[in-house]
Amino acid sequence: MSSSQENSNGPPSAAKDAVLVPSVEMPAEAIEVSGIDFNKFHDKPVTAEDLYEGMKSAGFQSTSLCQAVDIINEMRTWAGPPLPDSPPGTSPPKCTIFLGYTSNLISSGLRSTLSYLVQHSHISAIVTTAGGIEEDIIKCLHPTYLSASGFSAPGASLRTQGLNRIGNLVVPNKNYCSFEDWVVPLLDEMLAEQETALSQPVEEGDARFTWTPSKVIHRLGSHLGTHPSTSPLAHTSVLYWAAKNNIPIFCPALTDGSLGDMLYFHTFRSSPRHLGIDIVPDIRRLNTISVRAAKAGMIILGGGLVKHHIANACLMRNGADYAVYINTAQEFDGSDAGARPDEAVSWGKIRGDAKTVKVYLEASVAFPLIVANTFVKGAREDKEDEKME
């Protein structure tokens, strides 16, 4: 048969077989792809829960985001069996939840969401960067603004105006001047306490007083609520609520920001010794929290130091039980920031049977929707249960 005759009778059989490879039967538990039917909401508002229900089977990052909701809900509701020799009535152990975030998120409006979690003690410990400390304080003094030119505002022009750009946000230099006025007298107090403690005799077996980043941060947070310039807005602060609720905030890179500038300037006015800040007790404290955790969960917004510092603490207990990463970094360059959870499994920082997800979304978009469907929803349900009792 000629090729012309074959073509006249239909497509070549080899081509047809290649295109239409027979498919297997899909398993009964397979989930159909579907999205949100907004026709259902013409006469009622769309809630965060409605979005979650509609997005979880939409695929791509919608599904990943909803997996993060499911994992975090399991983190926050897990309760283990009573510990041996626990007194009657002792609450069962809960999951220890580590929260990590980069400083840009405090600069953004996501600070309100992070503050809510700390205010209501939904998390156990925090790791952030220096900007995550100072920007939180600065917002109690002066606001941060949206840039009129968005991400395209020219740096040279902003520099001549004394304005600093963080993405599409703008922070006036005045904010940092006010921060210096606020923090330097406190550094003086802390140095005086250090010098008084160092002048006292040390009894055998006693540890000599030392400042650590977490102690410094606790003092800063407490000071927010008492200083007249910051107390009116202290309730918006992550540091304030962390100090009030005794939630430790760790910042091993405490000097990498405006706070480091202030500590540098302070060395020229302090005598005979400078303020000493020891990072070693903090790594012992963070790792001990991890080791003693009945279950451990990580919620990491962004990458870099905050991501690895929490993951490495979880190595001390042979890995976290839950991990939710939210960032846009890619893994092709081998950076820890872009690494998926399975890479941490190879190091023992996440358990092999842990429940994990990486959400490839910018956190200011993803995290409010996640929090609305986890901690906020859970708090509302708890109140409803209390009314029923």
Contact 34, 63 (CB under 8 A): no
Q: What is the pLDDT of residues 214-245, one digit of tens each?
A: 999 999 999 999 999 999 999 999 999 999 99
Quote the CA–CA distance of 278 and 271 in Å, as a whole number.
19
pTM of the model: 0.94
Provide the pLDDT for residue 1: 46
Minimal CA–CA distance to 367: which of 380, 376, 354, 355?
Answer: 376
Rounded to 5 degrees, what angle do the CA atoms 71, 75, 81 make? 135
Q: Which residues contact 42 (CB under 8 A, 6 or more apart)?
A: none
Quote the CA–CA distance of 197 and 200 in Å, as a whole number.
5
Catalytic residue status for 244: no
End-to-end, the C-alpha distance of the chain in Å comes to 84
Beta bridge partners of 320: 350
Q: Residue 321 has which token pair?
A: 């039980």
Query: What three-state secondary structure class fits 370?
Result: helix
Residues of the chain with pLDDT under 50: 1, 3-4
Q: Give the active site residue among 349, 358, 377, 387.
A: 349
30 burial level (CB within 10 Å; 0-12, 13-18, 19+): exposed
Peptide bond into 201 cis (omega under 30): no
Domains by residue range for the chain, with CATH? 62-78+94-143+207-388 (3.40.910.10)
Q: Which residues contact 362 (CB under 8 A, 6 or more apart)?
A: 328
Paired sense of beta strands 249-250 and 169-172, if any: unpaired
